Amino acid sequence: MEQPKAVVTLRFHGALNDFLSPAHRHQTFSHPLQGRPSVKDLIESLGPPHPEVDVVRVDGEAVAFTHRVAPGARVEVYPAGVDEAPGVRVGPPLQEMPRFILDVGLGRLVGFLRMLGFDALWRNDFEDDVLARISHDEDRVLLSRDLGVLKRGEVLRGYFPRSTDPAEQLVEVVRRYGLTSRMRPFSRCVACNAALTAAELSEVAGRIPERVAERHSRFQQCPGCHRVYWAGTHHQRMQALVDRLRELEDAPGSPRRLEPGK
């Protein structure tokens, strides 16, 4: 007589449904169980990377990622920001001032984050193992649209931007990590990530166009790559973006993150 197959019952909440197959989204479903996998391995086998998970409850009890799942267990998985998920968090708490590292595909997003004043590392030749190691060793949030790198065990903090548009990605990250009150616009070099310092006209003469020297008296310079910044047209466009971010965060009922396609 054929033995009944071992199964586990799962339900994913909130934004974690973005990673599931359409047949499993926003509902309780059964899944075959092979052996006694860890909660982390079971969750990631279905799509969601572990840095996006905040609370896991097995048979009503909050558990760690290392918990071994038994046949017949009921597993509920919650993302960050879901108030109805009591219990011990499996991920680290939010940082007071988040720092970031981004993969090669997010080069425009890194410029936006630096413009807001956030420490954001990016290079176009970072390998996956390097991204994961720096994220762990320097306690940085890894931003990537590569699920493989986000699922690496070294990665403790991470987020998968749903949109492919850099401006929308910025809104997602600002909402996900509550960055509005921490923004320090125009305090960091968008090219090399160094903190900017104030400069007098005499210090930057010869490095700026003559017409800029005639119209402006306040400057910032980068001690790393020696770029000079002033409040020109580009600065005004970026200030408008900062203002829109603050309006979105302050809007009544504003969600913590954008749903895909919104």
More confident residue, 185 or 232: 185
The answer to whether the predicted template modeling score (pTM) of the entire model surpasses 0.85 is yes
Whether 105 and 156 map to the same domain: the answer is yes
What's the confidence (pLDDT) of residue 253? 39
**What is the count of structural domains for the chain?**
2
Verify that 119 and 151 share a domain, yes or no: yes
pLDDT higher than threshold 80 for residue 254: no
Do 164 and 246 lie in one domain? The reply is yes
| Residues 176 and 243 reside in one and the same domain | yes
The answer as to whether 229 is a domain residue is no
Residue 38 and residue 143 in one domain? no
The reply to whether 153 and 245 lie within a common domain is yes
176 with 104, same domain: the answer is: yes
pLDDT at 194: 97
pLDDT at 249: 62
User: Rounded CA gap, 81 and 42, in Å?
Assistant: 22
Give the C-alpha separation, 78 to 100, whole Å.
23
Joined tokens for residue 7? 């199964």
**pLDDT recorded at residue 86:** 62
Task: Look at residue 255 in the predicted model and tell me its pLDDT.
Answer: 37
Is the model more confident about 257 or about 186?
186
Average pLDDT, the chain: 89
In terms of domains, do 110 and 65 share one? no
The reply to whether 75 and 120 lie within a common domain is: no
pLDDT value at residue 83: 60
Q: Which of 44, 79, 114 is the last residue of a domain?
A: 79
State pLDDT tens for residues 100-157: 999 999 999 999 999 999 999 999 999 999 999 999 999 999 999 999 999 999 999 9
Last residue of a domain, one of 19, 45, 79: 79
Percent of the chain with pLDDT over 70: 90
Give the whole-angstrom CA distance, residue 117 versus residue 27.
40
Q: For 3-48, write each residue's pLDDT tens digit.
A: 557 999 999 999 999 999 999 999 999 999 999 999 999 999 999 9
Share of the chain above pLDDT 90, in %: 72
Please say if the pLDDT value at position 230 is more than 70.
yes
Residues 144 and 245 in one domain: yes
3-state secondary structure 200-259: CHHHHCCCCCHHHHHHCCCEEECCCCCCEECCCHHHHHHHHHHHHHHHHHHCCCCCCCCC
Tell me the pLDDT band of 2, cut-offs 50, 70 and 90: very low
Question: Vertex 155, ends 70 and 190: CA angle to 5°?
Answer: 150
Range of the domain at 53: 7-79
224 assigned to some structural domain: no
